[in-house]
């Protein structure tokens, strides 16, 4: 068998039905991040992604999928599920931003306080979080990441191919711009 | 640009009998490959303990362990670090599978699998999936700075299972 060479590619296609998408749903380029809300490198990558999004405008759609590294980060799983609870009330992205902007506070009361700060229904949020209503979604994200060659957090995929470059604005922007001529309509 | 002075090791290819080794798994315990075969075995050679957090290959494998175990596979990480270094690293990163110390003679196991970097004194980032009988089913040498992830291992384990069913 000739399995000694392979390229890590996204095995679960991006779908508006299951994924959280930031930017136009039909943008020519798709950037997917597998990340962990308790990972300091993901928090550092958060403003990088936002800057790249601002520079590319409608040419880019950004997708965040969960890859909680629970052996290292005790709050990562609950934070991922909490983001999905916020998503159930239509506030996934504002909640996602709040998690990365204050990453040191991720205990359960902090997760609930953020939901209240966004004006969400606290009772519903807490019920879904404690009942692990979104555990399956987070696990599906994680497994799809493993199968796609996610090798730590954050791991990015540009148009389905794993990006192994540095997670800084010039490198990531250049990598996205390299595929633009190929996909531009 | 000058050619590198040392040869580039590529790792033993599939179909080769996996060389036996006996390495420390803790300061007072040893693991012999020949004694642990009988199930699919994954050998993950890596350059050193204490690479940056969150992109650490061994921590990722700990997290993915249930997926390896579905195939009945046993995993060993191997680097030239000492058993004491491995012990501290495992405790710090909550790694529960064995890390083997290819410490003395330094790099001898990596050498046997043709993944030792003489010039740097560390092993390549190399993966081997062994059949239960100890023959290499799949091998992969990653660029040393790139954590190869777990997908290649999982594909190899699946392929191994299918070939078992077919035969």
- The domain locations on chain A are 21-183
Is it the case that residue A2 has pLDDT exceeding 50?
no
CB-CB under 8 Å, B64 with A69 = no
Tell me which residue range forms the domain holding B100.
23-28+39-166
pLDDT surpasses 70 at B2: no
Tell me if B139 is assigned to some domain: yes
| Predicted-complex ipTM score | 0.81
Q: Do B152 and A6 touch (CB under 8 A)?
A: yes
Sheet of strand B74-79: strand arrangement: B29-32, B22-26, B99-101, B74-79, B41-45, B125-130, B136-142
CATH classification number, A21-183, choose in 3.40.50.300, 1.10.275.10, 3.40.50.180, 3.40.30.10: 3.40.30.10
Is residue B9 included in any domain, yes or no? no
Structural domain count, chain B: 1
Tell me the CATH number at B138. 3.40.30.10
* Closest CA of chain A from B34, distance in Å: 24
Question: Do A32 and A63 touch, CB atoms closer than 8 A?
Answer: yes
Q: What stretches of B70-122 show up as alpha helix (H) in DSSP?
A: 83-93, 108-112
All residues of chain A having their beta carbon less than 8 Å from the beta carbon of residue B59 are 69, 71-72
Whether a cis peptide bond, with omega within 30° of 0, leads into B13 is no
Q: How confident is the model at residue B71 (pLDDT cuts 50, 70, 90)?
A: very high
The answer as to whether B11 is a domain residue is: no
Condensed to tens digits (0 to 9), the pLDDT of residues A37-89 reads 999 999 999 999 999 999 999 999 999 999 999 988 999 999 999 999 999 99
| Residue A183 pLDDT level (bands cut at 50, 70, 90) | confident
Among the partner-chain residues B52, B67, B151, the one whose CB lies closest to the CB of A148 is B151
Q: Is A147 on the interface with B (CB under 8 A)?
A: yes
| Tokens 């939901």 belong to residue | A115
């Amino acid at each position: 068998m000739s399995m000694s060479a392979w390229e890590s590619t996204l095995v679960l296609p991006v779908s508006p039905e299951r994924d959280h998408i930031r930017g136009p749903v039909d943008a020519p380029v798709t950037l997917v991040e597998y990340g962990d809300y308790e990972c300091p490198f993901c928090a550092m990558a958060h403003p990088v992604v936002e800057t790249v999004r601002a520079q590319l405008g409608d040419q880019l759609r950004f997708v965040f999928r969960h890859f909680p590294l629970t052996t290292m980060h005790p709050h990562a799983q609950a934070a991922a599920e909490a983001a999905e609870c916020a998503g159930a009330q239509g506030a996934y992205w504002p909640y996602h931003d709040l998690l990365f902007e204050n990453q040191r506070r991720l205990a359960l009361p902090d997760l609930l306080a953020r939901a209240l700060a966004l004006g969400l229904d606290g009772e519903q949020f807490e019920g879904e979080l404690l009942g692990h209503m979104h555990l399956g979604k987070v696990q599906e994200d994680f497994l799809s990441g493993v199968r796609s060659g996610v090798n730590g957090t954050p791991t990015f995929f540009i148009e389905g191919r794993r990006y192994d470059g540095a997670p800084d604005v010039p490198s990531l922007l250049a990598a996205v711009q390299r595929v633009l001529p190929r996909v531009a309509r | 640009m000058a050619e590198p002075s040392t040869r580039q090791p590529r790792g033993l290819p599939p179909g080769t009998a996996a060389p036996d080794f006996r390495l420390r798994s803790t300061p007072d315990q040893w693991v012999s490959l020949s004694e642990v075969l009988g199930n699919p075995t994954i050998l993950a050679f890596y350059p050193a303990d204490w690479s940056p957090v969150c992109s650490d290959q061994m921590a990722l494998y700990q997290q993915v362990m249930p997926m390896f175990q579905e195939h009945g596979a046993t995993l060993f990480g191997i680097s030239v670090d000492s058993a004491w270094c491995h012990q501290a690293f495992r405790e710090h990163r909550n790694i529960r599978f064995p890390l083997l110390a290819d410490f003395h003679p330094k790099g001898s196991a990596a050498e046997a699998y043709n993944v030792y970097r003489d010039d740097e004194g560390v092993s390549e980032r190399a993966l081997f999936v062994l059949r239960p009988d100890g023959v290499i089913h799949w091998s992969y040498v990653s660029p040393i700075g790139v954590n190869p992830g777990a997908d290649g291992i999982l594909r190899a384990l699946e392929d191994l299972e299918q070939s078992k069913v077919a035969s």
